[in-house]
Amino acid sequence: MSAAATMALLFIPSDVTPFSFLSRSSMSPVRDGAHLSMSSIIDGPITLDGKVIRGPISPLSNFILVRNKDRIMATSGGIFLPEDVQTKSTEGEVVAAGPGQPHPHTGKIIPMDVSPGQTVLYTEYSGLEMKYCDEDMTMIKCHDVMLRYTGAMLTEENAEMCRDWVLVKLPPRQEVQEFTDGIVVAATVFKEDLPVRGTVVKVGAGRFTSKLEVMPLPVNVGDEVKFREYAGNDVTIQSEQYLVIKAIDLLAVLKDPENE
């Protein structure tokens, strides 16, 4: 399927509301259940990948249009990276959201977890990148969103987990290891040094059933949990290391014998 055909399945241009009238404060609906929010007014023609379209795009089903934050252009040590190795940002502001996806068995619309104006963190390698009105944006599915937050920056306090995602705080790690011959090696090189346990600090509400009832997750805030190496997505929040992981990928809750 061509890129143009793929995009046609994700959204439709709307000719109901002029794009220049849309702002974060208005969040005017452009289709039943779909909303747009732009933090700034854009004058001139509306373009998609350099081509003029007839109106603002309106995501379908459970698709979300996200304005990406800037790419990571330098390492923590201040070394600037070439453009071809710069890390794509997986964090951004929700510009527009679809009305929700019908459940495959009942046809009932599964509610969306996010709304325009919120900032979201989504899984790497997901979505379709595009240039919308000369801005870098990505169209992603709702189930690819791990967490959402409002405010200038992500903190443990303002993080809200989506559906069955869990935020786990990892124990402090030794940054380097030194051998007897004086060779210093980064700790991330060693598989046995990868964290496989941590403390749950935030949990999502749970997944929807066919009747649109929410199934609670099997873990609670404060639980000590175990997971496999390389499971989940590493996230740094205010210089602290966390893991965002689906509840189904958690192996066990570690009981404290003293509290049993």
Distance CA 38, CA 41 (A): 7
Query: What amino acid occupies position 96?
Result: A
Query: What amino acid occupies position 218?
Result: P
Distance CA 233, CA 246 (A): 10
Which CATH number is 175's domain given? 2.30.33.40
- Per the structure, how many domains does the chain have? 2
Tally of CA atoms within 13 A in the half-sphere of 204 that contains its CB: 24
Query: What amino acid occupies position 101?
Result: Q
pLDDT for the residue 210:
87
pLDDT for the residue 242:
96
pLDDT for the residue 23:
28
Q: Do both 146 and 166 map to the same domain?
A: no
β-strand partners of 31: 34
Is 39 inside any structural domain? yes
Q: Do both 109 and 187 map to the same domain?
A: no
The candidate with the shortest Cα–Cα distance to 61, out of 2, 124, 142, is: 142
pLDDT for the residue 197:
93
What is the extent of the structural domain holding 231? 162-260
pLDDT tens readout for residues 209-235: 988 999 999 999 999 999 998 899 999
pLDDT for the residue 173:
72
Distance CA 96, CA 12 (A): 12
Distance CA 19, CA 58 (A): 11
Is 74 inside any structural domain? yes
The candidate with the shortest Cα–Cα distance to 244, out of 156, 149, 168, is: 168
Is 126 inside any structural domain? yes
The last residue of a domain, from among 134, 152, 170: 152
| pLDDT beneath 50: ranges in the chain | 1-9, 14-33, 37-41, 72-86, 176, 178, 180, 257, 260
Q: Do both 37 and 113 map to the same domain?
A: yes
Q: Is 19 in contact with 76 (CB distance < 8 Å)?
A: no
Give pTM, 2 decimals. 0.73
Q: Do both 25 and 145 map to the same domain?
A: yes
Q: Do both 34 and 111 map to the same domain?
A: yes
Q: Which letter does DSSP use for residue 56 in this model?
A: -
- Computed from CA positions of residues 46, 51, 52, 57, in that sequence, does the dihedral angle turn out positive or negative? negative
The last residue of a domain, from among 120, 152, 184: 152
pLDDT for the residue 59:
95
In angstroms, what is the C-alpha Rg of the chain? 21
User: The tokens of 151 are what?
Assistant: 């405010």
pLDDT for the residue 195:
85
Distance CA 18, CA 14 (A): 9
User: The tokens of 14 are what?
Assistant: 């709307």
